[in-house]
């Protein structure tokens, strides 16, 4: 009897906690993140010193994400390109993607500038109390020479070590085209890349499980470090940015989706958890890998997803360009600058050029904003004032960036499917585009999409 009762008693005492942990892990990761937001805000408010120290949780989470991004994105892009029927198709998809990015970001900038001009945000703002020292290390601006060299790195291993996503995309494009050109001889290498991608998907699943800890760390730090002191004076700016993002999400994106017959609401539902994680962590890279898996689940082909989404992270930052358009009008109004129609159109043109190549990291748009402000004669002190509320608007613009790139991939893929339906299926595809999906997507669905 004792030999039977002892294990039962032990399980009763020690099994309570594991049972509670299992029940918590069954909660959808979005709900876990919301709980983490509440706890983080409480810690940051009641114990600011502890909240500042908890930033390490967020940093560890982002480091784990960033260490796996390139090892996963590189094989997916290579295989996606290799599966396309021809080099001509690669060029066609790239051309469509770039054209789409340019048109949509320009329209969003016009919305942002028009809304900011109409509301008159920035007039009477306390810009003279801002401290330009807050911009130390950011005010170097954008160097297009360096941008081109980043896109064509001289050492791919150094590019991987630096997390150079744009350079990795360019190199993966070359490798994928070469694999498609040599045909069957590339099969062993393709098999290796498939294995690497499968393993990295599994690792991503593990990392996403701890996302709520990263959320807890970031929110605790943001509330403790920034507080809410500047909210009142900059409430109009925050409201305009959020209103603009709401217009983009509620009007512009649904219009684009309707034109291309994309189930927009279903798309939002499928990526809602990941957009929420990006919202809180303020980093679109934190969800890059699982996002591609969710889009494949939604029906977007792997060859399109693995090429368009990483490219969009550099060239299609919809939320960020809206923020920058509103911010420049805010500063122009605050300093009594020119806000006539020609000046506003010039502002849009400058931002269209400078916003390309923006990295998917927290507050990267501040660097572009400084460069645009310098080119238009706006002092850095005003931009320093915006840093006080940057974490609030950064969350929203990062979430919109994720949704915008998801829609872009769906649009390009839908366009390709229409073309295929009109012209008939192509012959001689290098690799079946959907064959490996059954191997990789379930692992991601099981580990990251619950």
Cα separation, 151 vs 209, in Å, equals 32
If you average pLDDT over every residue of the chain, what do you get? 76
Residues 89-94 have a mean pLDDT of: 80
Residue 245 has pLDDT above 90, yes or no: yes
Q: Is 200 exposed, middle or buried (0-12, 13-18, 19+ CB in 10 A)?
A: buried
Q: 42 or 34: which carries more pLDDT confidence?
A: 42
| Domains (range + CATH), the chain | 28-448 (1.10.3860.10)
Residues 412-440 have a mean pLDDT of: 60
CA separation (Å) from 173 to 94, 123, 198, 307? 10, 48, 20, 9
Query: Could you read off the pLDDT of 146-184 as tens digits, one per residue?
Result: 667 767 878 888 878 777 777 887 888 888 888 888 888
Cα separation, 432 vs 422, in Å, equals 20
Cα separation, 75 vs 186, in Å, equals 13
Cα three-residue angle 76-77-83, rounded to 5 degrees: 90
Q: Are 397 and 320 spatial neighbours (Cβ–Cβ below 8 Å)?
A: yes
Residue 79 contacts by C-beta under 8 Å, 6 or more apart in sequence?
176, 190, 193, 194, 197, 302, 303, 306, 431, 436
Most confident of 272-276, 352-356, 361-365: 272-276
Cα separation, 55 vs 48, in Å, equals 11
Residues 40-57 have a mean pLDDT of: 87
Q: Are 216 and 39 spatial neighbours (Cβ–Cβ below 8 Å)?
A: yes
The H-or-E segment that residue 246 falls in is helix 235-247
Q: 53 or 9: which carries more pLDDT confidence?
A: 53
Query: Could you read off the pLDDT of 175-188 as tens digits, one per residue?
Result: 888 888 888 888 89
Q: Are 445 and 298 spatial neighbours (Cβ–Cβ below 8 Å)?
A: no
Q: 297 or 18: which carries more pLDDT confidence?
A: 297
Q: 411 or 161: which carries more pLDDT confidence?
A: 411
């Amino acid at each position: 009897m004792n030999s039977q009762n002892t294990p039962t008693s032990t399980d009763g005492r020690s099994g309570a906690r594991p049972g509670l942990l299992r029940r918590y892990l069954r909660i959808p990761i979005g709900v876990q993140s919301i709980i983490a937001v509440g706890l983080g805000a409480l810690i940051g408010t009641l114990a600011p010193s502890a909240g500042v120290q908890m930033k390490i949780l967020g940093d560890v989470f982002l480091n784990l994400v960033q260490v796996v991004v390139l090892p996963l994105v590189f094989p997916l892009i290579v295989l996606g390109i290799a599966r396309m029927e021809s080099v001509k198709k690669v060029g066609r998809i790239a051309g469509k993607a770039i054209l789409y990015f340019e048109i949509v970001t320009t329209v969003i900038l016009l919305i942002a500038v028009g809304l900011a001009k109409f509301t008159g945000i920035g007039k009477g703002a306390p810009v003279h109390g801002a401290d330009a020292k807050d911009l130390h290390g950011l005010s170097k601006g954008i160097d297009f020479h360096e941008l081109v060299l980043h896109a064509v790195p001289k050492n791919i291993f150094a590019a991987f070590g630096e997390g150079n996503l744009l350079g990795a995309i360019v190199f993966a494009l070359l490798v994928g085209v070469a694999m498609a050109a040599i045909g069957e001889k590339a099969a062993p290498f393709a098999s290796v890349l498939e294995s690497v991608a499968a393993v990295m998907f599994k690792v991503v699943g593990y990392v996403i499980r701890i996302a709520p800890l990263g959320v807890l760390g970031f929110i605790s730090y943001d509330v403790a470090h920034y507080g809410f002191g500047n909210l009142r004076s900059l409430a109009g700016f925050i409201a305009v940015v959020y209103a603009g993002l709401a217009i983009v999400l509620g009007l512009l994106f649904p219009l684009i989706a309707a034109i291309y017959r994309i189930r927009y609401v279903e798309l939002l539902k499928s990526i809602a958890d990941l957009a929420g994680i990006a919202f809180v962590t303020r980093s679109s890279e934190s969800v890059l890998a699982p996002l591609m898996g969710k889009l494949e689940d939604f029906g977007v082909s792997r060859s399109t997803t693995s090429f368009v989404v990483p490219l969009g992270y550099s060239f299609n930052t919809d939320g960020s360009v809206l923020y920058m358009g509103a911010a420049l009008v805010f500063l122009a109004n605050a300093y009594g600058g020119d806000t006539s129609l020609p000046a506003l159109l010039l502002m849009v043109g400058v931002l269209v050029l400078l916003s390309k190549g923006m990295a998917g990291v927290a507050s990267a748009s501040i660097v572009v904003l400084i460069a645009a402000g310098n080119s238009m004669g706006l002092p850095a002190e005003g931009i320093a004032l915006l840093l006080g509320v940057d974490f609030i608007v950064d969350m929203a613009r990062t979430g919109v960036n994720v949704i915008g790139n998801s829609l872009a991939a769906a649009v390009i893929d839908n366009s390709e499917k229409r073309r295929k339906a009109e012209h008939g299926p192509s012959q001689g595809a290098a690799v079946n585009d959907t064959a490996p999906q059954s191997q990789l997507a379930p692992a991601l669905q099981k580990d990251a999409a619950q």
